Each structure stands twice: as structure tokens, then as C-alpha cells.
Amino acid sequence: MTTNTITKMSAKEVAQLVLEGKEIFILDVRNETDFADWKIEGSSVQIINIPYFDLIDSVDPALEQIPVGKPVLVVCAKEGSSIFVAEQIAEACRSNVSYLEGGMKSWSEYLEPIKVADLTGGGELYQFVRIGKGCLSYVVLSEGEAAIIDTNRMIDQYETFLQEKGAKLVHTIDTHLHADHISGGRALAEKHSATYHLPEKDAGEVTFHYEKLEDGKDITVGRERIIVHPIYSPGHTIGSTSFIIDNKFLLSGDILFIESIGRPDLAGLAEDWVSDLRETLYNRYKNLSEDFIVLPAHFGKITELGEKGLVSGRLGDLYKQNPGLNIMDEGEFRKTVTENLPPQPNAYQEIRQTNMGKINPNEEEQREMEIGPNRCAVHDN
């Protein structure tokens, strides 16, 4: 009897299958709690969960649910358990069996660069989709210079991209002090002698030097300008800042998402910040052009990914369709954004302290701190 061999699939390969809408069958062997909290999703993804310990003695429970003749990808937290299960499935004469290289940890860290547009000054704008975490970051390129907005901690992936583009990093920018993921902006800026920018009102406890983001103090990249406007757009944090690029794109940070709005409670000040959040969403943003294309710092649901995985939406359409922008009663709005919120992100207090420079966890500790969904929105579920 011939024994089938197993193959490994990288997070990049899986992400591209998901983004291209290609069918994929996944057996997730993590425990039920972890699976319920966070898993690989997509319109073309068919996924089942059978914990590893239920498959040690026999993979028959899995074989009963895996369609015959269909390729299967086995997934676990770090890789080891999925290799074992995949081997057992292959030995049962099933072909086309793969495992996710690096497990869900690698899925959490992969960034997919997606071109948003060519800019009028001759530059380019890219969105980096962290599909396994829901984080979105942006790269502006112009005349051999680059700026990165809301950088993730996996700075090597940005460096590879910039090297391929032949661009020198001149700015890294955080729209606010993040609580769901560790920023790579400061580390990347220091490594490449670039300038790191942060809103002053979010930087009261930081331990390092930064350049203040200020209203009207635009940031130049080659021939492109990143307009710091509508400047001060508080609500998710007290310093949350939005940007306009090419008089067309509104980078909204964690204030406004495609299907939801930002939550104001991650610094423990929801009651204080809810009025700021409403003012930003219902007044500051409302006065902007309806034709602005909103590019947020996160997505909460896989349904927010559009063509080729791009997460974006026309501002005027969001005011018609986004539930968080259509709560006219102030009391109801306050209740919505302060009560019945999703669980807070994993280790969010430690992540905030890391982003302030107060603690310096090692790489493995940082990975553990970031595991799970981002949960920056009021309506993630």
C-alpha cells in the first residue's frame, strides 16, 4: 500500500487562496475555546473543529467529516499537532493533505500588500492586510521615499517590500497608541533613521522621543503630502488622528471602520471619550466630502474585505449603511458604545505598555500577547 505524503502550506499561500475566493477545506485541531475565539475565515473557507486530543488514538472522527477527494489543510496553534494529524490522515490513504506552516501564529503575522491606487503626484498607496489579525497598515511611495502608517511589529515584511520598490523609509506614523497590537513604527524608524510620529495626547506616558502629529503640519513623502486632517479625531483614544492623502483617501485609524465604529473603552475612559467619539463621527467626518474613500486601521469581519482583499468604503455610503453612524439619539449612542461591548483584546494593557516603551517583552512574548482577533470595534460580532 502506498502511503500518501503531506505537504506544508505557508500563511501567504493560504491567505492568497482566501483572498482569491478559492475553495479550501480546513480541519482545525485546536481546542474548542480557541477555535470559537478566532479561526481562519473567508467566503470560500469550509472549516471544522476537532480537538487534537480527540484524534490521538484515531483520526476516524475527522475522516468521517472530510469530503473524499477534497484537499484538506490541517491547522493548529504552532504546527506540531497539525503535522501529526495530517500524517495520520495521509496514512489512511487520503491524498492532498497539507498543514499550515507555523500554525495560527504564522497566520496571525502574515501581511498581504494590496495596491490601493496610483496617486496624482506620481506616487502609490498600498494597504497591508494582516488577514489573521484584522490589522491594516499603509505605505505611501513617492520618488524613492516611503512612509508607513500604523506599522505592525513584523517589520521585516515592510523592509522586503521597500527593498523591492527601491524606496527609502522617511516616516513611520501611528494614528493613535494601539491597544490590540504592538506597533513596529518606532523600531522601524530607528533602524532606518526615519522619523516616528505619534499624537501628543496619546504620548503622555511614552518613554521615547517622537515627532508630534499636529493640525496643519503636513508630512511629505517625495511629491506626495499626507495631510494631518481632520487632525484631531478623538474617541477611540484621546489623541486619535486621521489623515487625508491625495485629497481622496481618508485614513480613519480606529475611529471608523467599514461596518462598525471604534470603541472608546480600551484605556478605561469610555464615559469620558464617548462624547469625543460622537463629535468626530457625527460632526468632523460629516463635514468631509462624501466621496472620500475611507481606509481604516482594522477590519472586524471578513465580509469587510472587498475586491482582492482591499478594505475600503466611500464615506457617503458608510453614512447610509454603517449602523454606528446612524444612532441619532445621543443617549442611545452612549449606551451602544459603553455597554455590551465585545471582549477586550488579548493582553491589551500589556500591549499599551509596550507601545509606551514601559516594558520590553521578547519576540515570543509579543507573539503570545497578540494572539486572537483585534476587537477594536463596537460591533465585531
Task: For residue 376, give the C-alpha cell.
Answer: 477594536
Domain's final residue, options 75, 106, 137: 106
Domain assignment of residue 27, yes or no: yes
pLDDT at res. 269: 52
Whether 101 and 210 share a structural domain: no
Give the CATH number of the domain where residue 248 resides: 3.60.15.10
161 and 293, same domain (yes or no):
yes
Q: Which helix (H) or strand (E) holds 117?
A: strand 112-118
Last residue of a domain, one of 106, 141, 173: 106
In a domain, 147, yes or no: yes
Q: What is the pLDDT of residues 353-378, one digit of tens each?
A: 999 999 999 999 998 888 777 666 66
145 and 96 fall within a common domain: no
| 280 occurs within a structural domain | yes
State the pLDDT at residue 92: 87
Q: In the chain, how many domains are there?
A: 2
Give the predicted TM-score (pTM) of the model. Answer: 0.92
Radius of gyration of the chain (CA): 22
Catalytic residues: 76
Question: In this structure, is residue 375 part of a structural domain?
Answer: no
Shared domain for 241 and 331, answered yes or no, is yes
Whether 75 and 152 map to the same domain: the answer is no
Residue 143 and residue 90 share a domain? no
> Based on the domain organization, do 60 and 124 belong to the same domain?
no
Q: What is the pLDDT of residues 174-196, one digit of tens each?
A: 999 988 899 999 999 999 999 99
DSSP for 244-257, written as a single string: EETTTEEEEETTB-
Same domain, 83 and 168: no
Task: Based on the fold, state whether residues 94 and 117 are members of the same structural domain.
Answer: no
- Cα separation of 173 and 323, whole Å? 29
CATH number at 66 reads: 3.40.250.10
Same domain, 97 and 188: no
Last residue of one domain, picked from the residues 53, 78, 106: 106
36 and 99, same domain (yes or no): yes
**Does residue 200 sit within a domain?**
yes
Q: Does residue 128 belong to any structural domain of this protein?
A: yes
Domain range for 260 is: 111-370
Separation CA 198–CA 35 (nearest Å): 35
The stretches in the chain having pLDDT less than 70 are 1-3, 228-237, 264-273, 340, 342-346, 374-381
- 192 and 170, same structural domain? yes
1 within some domain? no
Q: Which pLDDT value is given to residue 54?
A: 96
Residue 380 lies in a domain: no
* Cα gap 70→130, rounded to integer Å: 27
